[in-house]
């Protein structure tokens, strides 16, 4: 009997454990939710204009990864994904190799555009001949253009004919983005346009890219680890102008002193050096400037606030304005209700108290029950007002 009792007890415990496990699994299954995430559209299409991809069904269309120094620079710029396709003309001979890189924001794309375009490439500024936001054309037929957060490098040396119209069609298929990620950096807009050689403008976000694009300072000294930005440009008949922008004036001051020491160390080999700091901005000339021209250049550049009345503000600004307006409106309404409640309660208690006194046969506006202190020094009998004053006789 004892053995049977023990076996039954063990079996009961096992059943209980299995039941609890089943309930737990069922509860866990009820809390699970299925989320469907739609993958982003491929960076490059299988066909555009007169071109068709050689591989009609590639296993992975966004798996291209750069190598070497290119990979280091693009990583600094915030590379998100890359793709490379080889296209052939649907009618006729010719091949076109296209490489596209998408970045987190337009700032990184601008830096990558500065790096990927070949030295000496021609910047197309005419709206009629431009593709995307910016276009650089090399002598041997390479096209590098930026559209939003994407930079495209097209090797058209074997295309056999002009590909400008086809590249415009390709640009329309690239990802479109808005909001803060589409905002362009302010620093390149501070470069004076007089005498500027547009094909020499280089914008950098990291030490590797800065030195690869001809920076005159050691990359580690600039302070890219503190979110610094750098833009460099040459001016006709003069030298190189470098602008460095930092998050705060304190960071700019610290790095400005280090840069001054480095320029003193380089001495005459750096050319005409004029250094000035304005808030978070550090300006420096190097190379074959005349002292007067260098001084005029660095003293003529200032940070500016841009005020516009016909440009839509960012969505975040509108959201903050609505939040602030809603908060102030709620405070005003609450204050008004509290004042109204105070007035109503004042009338209620005041007239209510007077009404109660009248119902008791007492004057509505007197308080005979209140004690009164006579400081005149005369001895008088205390009496109630309802009894009237004593006669003087």
* DSSP per-residue letters across 56-83: SS-S-TT-----HHHHHHHHHTTEEEEE
Mean pLDDT of 150-169: 90
Q: Which residues pair with 155 in a beta bridge?
A: 97, 142
In this prediction, residue 177 carries a pLDDT of: 86
Which of 87-91, 257-261, 301-305 shows the lowest mean pLDDT across its residues? 301-305
In this prediction, residue 313 carries a pLDDT of: 53
- Pick from 153, 184, 312, 298: which is nearest to 238 by CA? 298
Strands (DSSP E) contained in 220-280 are 229-234, 240-245, 274-278
DSSP, collapsed to helix, strand or coil, labels residue 140 as coil
Shared-domain flag, residues 43 and 103: yes
Which is higher by pLDDT, 181 or 366? 181
Please report, rounded to a whole number, the percentage of residues in the chain having pLDDT higher than 90.
56
Integer Cα distance of 132 and 50 in angstroms? 19
Shared-domain flag, residues 175 and 192: no
Confidence of residue 2 (pLDDT cuts 50, 70, 90): very low
CB contact at 8 A, 252 and 280: yes
- Pick from 104, 247, 244: which is nearest to 180 by CA? 104
The pair of three-digit structure tokens given for residue 241, joined into one six-digit string: 């102008």
- Pick from 113, 186, 119, 180: which is nearest to 150 by CA? 113
| pLDDT 10s digits, 117-158 | 988 889 988 777 789 999 999 887 789 999 999 999 999 988
In this prediction, residue 315 carries a pLDDT of: 54
Confidence of residue 3 (pLDDT cuts 50, 70, 90): very low
Shared-domain flag, residues 175 and 223: no
Which is higher by pLDDT, 22 or 206? 206
DSSP, collapsed to helix, strand or coil, labels residue 196 as strand
Shared-domain flag, residues 69 and 158: yes
Which is higher by pLDDT, 141 or 276? 276
Shared-domain flag, residues 159 and 268: no
C-alpha distances (whole Å) from 40 to each of 52, 64, 174 are: 21, 16, 11
Q: Which residues pair with 154 in a beta bridge?
A: 98, 143
Confidence of residue 321 (pLDDT cuts 50, 70, 90): confident
CATH number where 85 lies: 3.40.1000
The pair of three-digit structure tokens given for residue 233, joined into one six-digit string: 């440009």
Which is higher by pLDDT, 37 or 241? 241
The conformation of residue 259, written as its DSSP 8-state character, comes to H
CATH number where 283 lies: 3.30.1360
- What radius of gyration do the chain's Cα atoms show? 40
Classify residue 231: in a domain, yes or no. Answer: yes
User: Residue 117's domain spans which residues?
Assistant: 39-181
Torsion of CA 14, 15, 20, 25, to 10 degrees: 100
Q: What angle do CA 77, 78, 79 make, to 5 degrees?
A: 105
Which of 172-181, 278-287, 367-376 shows the lowest mean pLDDT across its residues? 367-376
Is residue 5 scored above 60 in pLDDT? no
The pair of three-digit structure tokens given for residue 26, joined into one six-digit string: 């069922």
Tally of domains in the chain: 2
Is residue 369 scored above 70 in pLDDT? no
Is residue 263 scored above 80 in pLDDT? yes
Shared-domain flag, residues 141 and 217: no
What's the gap between Cα 275 and its chain centre? 30
Rounded to the nearest 5°, which phi and psi values hold at 232? -130, 145
Shared-domain flag, residues 81 and 160: yes
CB contact at 8 A, 136 and 153: no
In this prediction, residue 266 carries a pLDDT of: 92
Classify residue 177: in a domain, yes or no. Answer: yes
Is residue 316 scored above 70 in pLDDT? no
In this prediction, residue 305 carries a pLDDT of: 53
Is residue 362 scored above 80 in pLDDT? no
- Given 181, 204, 238, the domain boundary residue is 181
The pair of three-digit structure tokens given for residue 115, joined into one six-digit string: 């790096």
Confidence of residue 109 (pLDDT cuts 50, 70, 90): very high
Please report, rounded to a whole number, the percentage of residues in the chain having pLDDT higher than 70.
78
In this prediction, residue 34 carries a pLDDT of: 64
Q: How many CB atoms lie within 10 A of CB 295?
A: 15
């Amino acid at each position: 009997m004892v053995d049977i009792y023990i076996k039954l007890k063990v079996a009961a415990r096992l059943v209980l454990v299995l039941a609890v496990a089943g309930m737990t699994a069922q509860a866990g299954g009820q809390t699970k939710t299925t989320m469907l995430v739609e993958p982003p559209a491929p960076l490059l299409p299988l066909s555009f204009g007169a071109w068709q991809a050689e591989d009609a069904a590639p296993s992975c269309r966004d798996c291209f990864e750069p190598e070497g120094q290119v990979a280091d620079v693009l990583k600094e710029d915030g590379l998100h994904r890359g793709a490379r396709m080889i296209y052939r003309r649907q009618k006729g001979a010719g091949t076109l190799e296209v490489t596209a890189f998408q970045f987190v924001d337009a700032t990184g794309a601008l830096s990558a555009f500065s790096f990927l375009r070949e030295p000496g490439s021609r910047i197309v500024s005419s709206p009629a001949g431009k593709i995307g936001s910016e276009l650089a054309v090399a002598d041997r037929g390479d096209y590098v253009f930026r559209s939003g957060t994407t930079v495209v490098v097209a090797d058209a040396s074997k295309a056999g004919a002009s590909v400008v119209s086809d590249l415009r069609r390709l640009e329309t298929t690239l990802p479109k983005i808005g909001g803060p990620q589409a905002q362009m950096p302010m620093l390149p807009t501070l470069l004076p346009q007089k005498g500027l050689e547009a094909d020499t403008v280089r914008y950098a976000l990291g030490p590797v890219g800065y030195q690869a694009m001809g920076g005159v300072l050691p990359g580690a000294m600039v302070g890219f680890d503190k979110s610094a930005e750098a833009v460099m440009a040459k001016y006709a008949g003069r030298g190189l102008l470098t602008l460095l922008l930092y998050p705060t004036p304190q960071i700019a001051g610290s790095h400005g002193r280090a840069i001054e020491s480095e320029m003193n160390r380089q001495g005459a080999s750096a050319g005409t050096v004029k250094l000035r700091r304005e808030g978070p901005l550090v300006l420096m000339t190097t190379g074959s400037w005349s002292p007067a021209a260098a001084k005029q250049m660095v003293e003529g550049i200032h940070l500016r606030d841009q005020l516009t009345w016909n440009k839509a503000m960012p969505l975040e600004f509108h959201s903050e304005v609505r939040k602030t307006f809603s908060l102030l409106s709620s405070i005003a309404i609450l204050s008004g209700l509290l004042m109204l409640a105070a007035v109503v309660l004042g009338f209620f208690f005041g007239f209510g108290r007077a009404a109660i006194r009248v119902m008791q046969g007492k004057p509505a506006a007197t308080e005979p029950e209140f004690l009164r202190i006579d400081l005149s020094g005369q001895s008088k009998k205390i009496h109630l007002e309802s009894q009237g004053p004593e006669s003087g006789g």
